[in-house]
Amino acid sequence: MRYVSTRGQARALDFEGVLLAGLATDGGLYVPARWPLLSRRAIKGLRGRPYAELAATVLQPYLGKHLSADAFHAILAETYAGFDHPAVAPLVQLGPNDWVMELFHGPTLAFKDMAMQVLGRLLDQALARRGRRATILGATSGDTGAAAVDAFRGREAIDVFMLHPEGRISPVQRRQMTTVADANIHNIAIQGTFDDCQALVKTLFQEPDLRRDLSLAAVNSINWARVMLQIAYYVHAAVALGAPDRTVSFSVPTGNFGDIYAGYAAARMGLPIQALIAATNRNDILARFFQNGEYARGEVMPTISPSMDIQVASNFERYVYDRVGRAPDRVRELMAAFGAAGSFVLPSNQETLFTGFQVGEDETRAEIARTRAETGWLADPHTAVGLAAARARRGDPAVPMVTLSTAHPAKFAEAVTQACGVRPELPARYMGLMDRPERCVTLPNDAAVLRDHLLSQSRLGRARKAA
């Protein structure tokens, strides 16, 4: 499989290339040159298969010659054996034809583990094979950072620098990163928003010297391998609910558009998806886009679902690329317009798969309380946004509706307790998390300061100085 940049000015790469590169050198994102197709027969053949096996089968075409089918399956099986549910991504029924898919059974209690735990192994192997080191630079609205820190801690060939917006992530999210003692993990609180953090990362990735000297790698959802790994659970759920003979709809709590874009990819591969609902909190750039076709930046507002407090959704560019007929010149124009004026317009009437819906803070709390009262199931605030959107945008009741449950409620215990009076407990393995010492530096929202920090603190930066 070849991967091309959405902006058309970086060279095409194979899977291992995009795994190591993250963002393309022209500022674009890598997408597969074509969508591999899943036939009806192939989908039927997935029925009843364990998660790792299904994922290996569905995703193998994206890897090309990078790994053999057996080697890939072995990595997936080893990864998901470490999750705390044998179904890996179990479906829980909440209504006559309404389900949640629990994606929080990995080590850091959010769906990011589904891809990141595999990515850690894939990157480590690829670097070892090339005898190379890498410096991971990432921005997190909370859960990506925790997932990356867990997936990469202690790895010999990799340093991790993880930026988060100071004071804007939950205490559990922060402590999952800052209490990790391994020397290769570096936490940085930025005095700004998540979008500021993401912009800093983008800026440094566009400095060719720094990128080369530190061998910068990205594990944000802009890394294709993460999106790819997320495709598997859409297929897993749809097959369990009757695909290819029935269509299925998904409601996806959305921030950076990575998770829902994986659903889009599954649909492009031939999975019968009726609707994809982009469920947002009041940071609703995507919900507005799917309502009126205008992609217009707003102010980032803090909410009780902080992992979705995003107004510039990096992965959206991948979707735009398809929407403009895979014309990179058009993508460059639109992204330039967005950079300059903060908005662009695409006619939304061509869109039939996606719908958007925004959910306010009070509605989110009410949804947590209602779901608890009616079903006994405890939703975290992100999942509750998805559930409220699923209710509002429910189409044909005969089509199963699956809401992606993106985090364990204990990750956002304060908000959940406030909403329904029940305090979710952290799983036993997190005992003591709130008491351990933290390691983190605070830096201003300034690319030059961050560059100096990376050069002086990373192993590759220090080696370069010594040379």
Ligand X SMILES: *Cc1c(COP(=O)(O)O)cnc(C)c1O
Which sequence positions are flagged as catalytic? Answer: 112
d(CA 67, CA 70): 8
Q: How far is the CB of 40 from ligand X (least distance, A)?
A: 28
CB burial of residue 336 (10 Å; 0-12, 13-18, 19+) = exposed
Joined tokens for residue 71: 């080697």
| Beta carbon nearer to ligand X, 134 or 260 | 260
| Beta carbon nearer to ligand X, 166 or 309 | 309
d(CA 138, CA 217): 9
| Beta carbon nearer to ligand X, 127 or 227 | 227
Phi-psi region of 138 (alpha: psi -120 to 50; beta: other; left: phi over 0): beta
- Element housing 134 (H / E): strand 134-139
344 strand-pairing partners: 295
Q: How far is the CB of 110 from ligand X (least distance, A)?
A: 4
Q: How far is the CB of 164 from ligand X (least distance, A)?
A: 12
| Beta carbon nearer to ligand X, 190 or 222 | 222
Q: How far is the CB of 444 from ligand X (least distance, A)?
A: 25
Q: How far is the CB of 161 from ligand X (least distance, A)?
A: 19
Cβ neighbors of 380 (< 8 A, separation 6 or more) are: 104, 305, 405, 406, 407, 408, 409, 411, 412, 415, 416, 424
d(CA 273, CA 353): 8
d(CA 35, CA 442): 42
Question: How many residues belong to the chain?
Answer: 467
Q: How far is the CB of 227 from ligand X (least distance, A)?
A: 9
| Beta carbon nearer to ligand X, 110 or 359 | 110
| Beta carbon nearer to ligand X, 358 or 458 | 358
CA 204, 20, 150, 234 torsion: positive or negative?
A: positive
196 φ, ψ (degrees, to nearest 5): -60, -45
d(CA 332, CA 313): 16
| Beta carbon nearer to ligand X, 45 or 377 | 377
| Beta carbon nearer to ligand X, 143 or 284 | 143
Quick one: how far is CA 225 from the chain centroid? 10
Q: How far is the CB of 431 from ligand X (least distance, A)?
A: 22
Q: How far is the CB of 252 from ligand X (least distance, A)?
A: 7
- Element housing 356 (H / E): strand 354-358
| Beta carbon nearer to ligand X, 226 or 391 | 226
3-class SS string, 2-42: CEEECCCCCCCECHHHHHHHCCCCCCCCEEECCCCCCCHHH
Q: How far is the CB of 254 from ligand X (least distance, A)?
A: 4
Where along the sequence are the contacts to ligand X (CB under 6 A)?
Answer: 110, 112, 143, 221, 253-260, 307-308, 382, 406-407
Phi-psi region of 356 (alpha: psi -120 to 50; beta: other; left: phi over 0): beta
Give the type of residue at 38: L
Strand order across the beta sheet in which 441-444 lies: 216-217, 134-139, 158-165, 185-191, 441-444
- Element housing 420 (H / E): helix 413-420
